[in-house]
Amino acid sequence: MNITSDMPSNVCFIGYATSKSGKTVTLWEVQCLKCKRKRTVKRADHAKSHASKVCKFCSNKNNHPQGEYRGIRISFIEKYRLQGLARGKLWNLSHDDVANQADKQNRKCALSGIDLCFVGDFKDITASLDRINNEIGYEVGNIQWVHKDINMMRGQLSIEKFLSLCKSISEYKGDKMANRDKEMIDGVATLIRKVKSKANRKQIAQYALRDFKKERVKVDPDKFMRRVGL
């Protein structure tokens, strides 16, 4: 008996396998009609059924919640919709609305310019849909894509308040870092100038510049070399 005689052309018999109940069943290889990927299926009736369908990969890509729409994971959009509705926030956005906003921002964070990731596992996605005015729901004109860490830091603060705090932190830490850098450079330069051998002084200065770079100390290499007499 030829068990493959009535099988579609994209189905191939590859052997036998044991089912969960312990029965011996036929094992088939089914090729996706769209992408030509092959998948293994148990039982002839299941193989026939799968033969007329696209594979899981193609199905996900087109319409499954874990698929993508214009480069954004669909279930990611759904997560924001459901969370917003659960908090009583208006959701008046289509998939195109959120994708258009991402394209408008060149797929970068609206507040930092950092490149954003919209697809893959949730742990790998860095994009976060942010409401500009937290008092209003999700609607066109009140959304922006930001990095998830930045959105978490912002919390319920207004954009203006959040940016003001970021500026204060940057200026305060920037002044302290500038003072730290100056003290470090002055101290190292003073020690190097005490080395009598010019060759040794040059070698030590080069090591110092390399260490400055590792420590992210802002220093002009040419000026530093002149300061140590080179």
Verify that 46 and 96 share a domain, yes or no.
no
Verify that 141 and 177 share a domain, yes or no.
no
Verify that 124 and 72 share a domain, yes or no.
yes
pLDDT at res. 73: 87
Sign of the C-alpha dihedral computed for residues 8, 11, 13 and 19 taken in this order:
negative
Verify that 80 and 148 share a domain, yes or no.
yes
Residue 99 or 50, more confident: 99
Verify that 76 and 137 share a domain, yes or no.
yes
Rounded to 5°, the CA angle 109-142-75 comes to 65
Give the mean model confidence (pLDDT) for residues 191-207: 79
Residue 183 has pLDDT above 50, yes or no: yes
**In the chain, which ranges are E strands?**
11-18, 24-31, 38-42, 68-69, 72-73, 91-92, 127-131, 138-139, 143-147
Q: Are 61 and 51 in contact (CB under 8 A)?
A: no
d(CA 146, CA 116): 8
pLDDT at res. 174: 65
Residue 180's H or E segment, with its range, is helix 159-193
Q: Are 192 and 201 in contact (CB under 8 A)?
A: yes
pLDDT tens string 103-143:
999 999 998 899 999 987 778 889 999 999 988 899 999 99
Residue 3 counted as domain residue = no
Tell me the two tokens of residue 12.
């191939």
Verify that 149 and 164 share a domain, yes or no.
no
% residues pLDDT > 90 (the chain): 20
Residue 177 counted as domain residue = yes
154, 172, 197 — which closes off a domain?
154
pLDDT at res. 1: 46
d(CA 213, CA 23): 67
d(CA 167, CA 163): 6
Verify that 114 and 179 share a domain, yes or no.
no
pLDDT tens string 19-47:
878 888 889 999 888 778 888 988 888 88
pLDDT at res. 131: 92
Residue 179 has pLDDT above 80, yes or no: no
Total count of domains within the chain: 3
Verify that 168 and 150 share a domain, yes or no.
no
CATH number of the domain that 94 lies in?
3.40.1800
How many residues in the chain? 230
d(CA 169, CA 163): 10
pLDDT tens string 149-164:
988 888 888 888 888 8
Residue 72 counted as domain residue = yes
Residue 2 counted as domain residue = no
Tell me the two tokens of residue 13.
């018999």
d(CA 63, CA 55): 12
215: containing domain: 160-227
pLDDT at res. 104: 95
Tell me the two tokens of residue 48.
């026939």
Verify that 196 and 212 share a domain, yes or no.
yes
Residue 1 counted as domain residue = no
Residue 191 or 144, more confident: 144
- Its pTM stands at 0.51
User: What is the average pLDDT value for the chain, to the nearest integer?
Assistant: 83
pLDDT tens string 50-73:
888 877 766 655 444 457 889 998
Verify that 117 and 42 share a domain, yes or no.
no
Verify that 90 and 21 share a domain, yes or no.
no
